[in-house]
A = this chain, B = another copy of it.
Amino acid sequence: MFDVEKIIQDFPILNQGGTSKPLTYLDSTASSQKPTAVIEAMDTYYREYNANVHRGIYQISEKASDAYEKSRKKVGRFINARNWREIIFTRNATESLNLVAYSWGQANIKAGDVIITTEMEHHANLIPWQQLAARNGATVKYIPVTEQGYLDMAAFEAMLSPEVKLVAVTQMSNVLGTIPPIDDIIEKAHAVGALVLLDGAQSVPHMPVDVQALDCDFLAFSGHKMLGPTGIGVLWAREEILNAMPPFMTGGDMIKHVSFEGSTWNDLPWKFEAGTPAIAEVIGLGYAVDYLNTLGMDNIRQHEIDIVTYALDQLNQVEGLRIFGPKTPENRGGSISFTLGDIHPHDVSAILDSEGVAVRAGHHCAMPLHEKFGLAATTRASFYIYNTNSDVDRLVIGLDKCLNLMA
């Protein structure tokens, strides 16, 4: 059922490759590769039924509208939304988070309010709240991260008060891999009347996510990290919350009535989708969801636990290598960030690249977390459905070359 060798066949880049050596792609946390089905779905749209959606009364436009809205339903069912009206298409997780900060935030965050987030957030789930708080006189508090890469839950509990209006937390760290105790966080946040936003940019591609079971209030994620195209992201929120929110961007398609005196807004979800949407990209994302469903999110999660188990074991044997984040595969996703002695991560990454191994080097859009650990940068290897233990082996061989060359 979960046959990695067969999966690899579905990804053109892993077969033909754009590099001089065969590609060991260990940067899916930044962006995943795309299966043929996704690429071809977009191709077919452009070649056969390209047209603007929603307002065209002709065959190809009807077909495009239909495909566009079908994708919305696929995405909605994928995270177990209550209905398709709760799915808003954006450019990326970053826009989803900014949409909440501008629309819900401006309407609901007042002077004296508190927004809680964590020290391990991606900048996308950090700066929008800093900006919102600065605009409205609110305060941002950060749940500390322990040396082992876990959230300090006692500190979180101490922050809770009726002033807390929002808890915005990642469901899986893109640096440490940490999977925080989300159920607990949601329960405690709701107990003081705060809403909970989950940054699902890493969780949704890599593990089963059920918004009804979680009972969260907002979920943001990106298509390009889950086998889908670039240029498409998703915001899910509970229908009542979305209904009460003012629009974010305004323009075509999001209106009921417009006059020189003012305007009224369209129903959900279109109220939040101003202008011509990313039609091909939405259709492509629908096919990505189909592909993930065929594999099964439980199986994907298990595959990643297996490969992370092997990787942690192998990496621990590399001289001078220090891994950040949880050491137990059950508590973490497939992103493994590390340092290799004093060798700068840029050099590690460049040397690995010359061996055909693609990893990421830098602060991974989590500068405050890196500063907390006293680092400017780490090297990050991350795994997905098409990676195997032999990719780990190639990584380790490359790291040995780094040591030989630079030490």
- Pull 26 A–B residue pairs with CB atoms less than 8 Å apart, ordered by A: A16-B48, A18-B48, A27-B61, A30-B56, A30-B276, A33-B50, A39-B47, A43-B43, A57-B346, A57-B360, A58-B349, A59-B353, A59-B358, A60-B358, A61-B358, A94-B251, A94-B252, A94-B274, A94-B276, A123-B250, A123-B252, A125-B251, A127-B255, A127-B258, A230-B276, A258-B368
* A367-B94 contact, Cβ under 8 Å, with A31-B51, A280-B229, A353-B59: no
CB-based contact A253/B365 at 8 Å: yes
Q: Which residues of B lie under 8 Å from residue A360 when comparing CB positions?
A: 55-57
Interface stretch (choices A78-86, A151-159, A259-267, A326-334): A259-267
Residue A142 interfacial (CB < 8 Å):
yes
- CB-based nearest B residue for A222: B276
Copy number in the complex reads 2
| A residues whose Cβ falls under 8 Å from a Cβ of B | 12-13, 16-20, 23, 27, 30-31, 33-34, 38-39, 42-43, 46-52, 55-61, 63, 91-95, 97-98, 102, 119, 122-128, 130-131, 134, 140, 142, 222, 224, 229-233, 248-253, 255, 257-260, 262-263, 274-281, 346, 349-350, 352-353, 357-362, 365, 367-368, 371
CB-based contact A18/B95 at 8 Å: no
Q: Which residues of B lie under 8 Å from residue A27 when comparing CB positions?
A: 51-52, 56, 58, 61
Kindly provide the distance from the CB of A314 to the nearest chain B CB, expressed in whole angstroms: 20
- CB-based nearest B residue for A274: B94
Q: Which residues of B lie under 8 Å from residue A359 when comparing CB positions?
A: 58
CB-based contact A252/B365 at 8 Å: yes
Kindly provide the distance from the CB of A261 to the nearest chain B CB, expressed in whole angstroms: 8
| Of the residues B20, B58, B124, contact of A251 by C-beta under 8 Å | B124
CB-based contact A367/B59 at 8 Å: no
CB-based contact A367/B30 at 8 Å: no
Kindly provide the distance from the CB of A173 to the nearest chain B CB, expressed in whole angstroms: 14
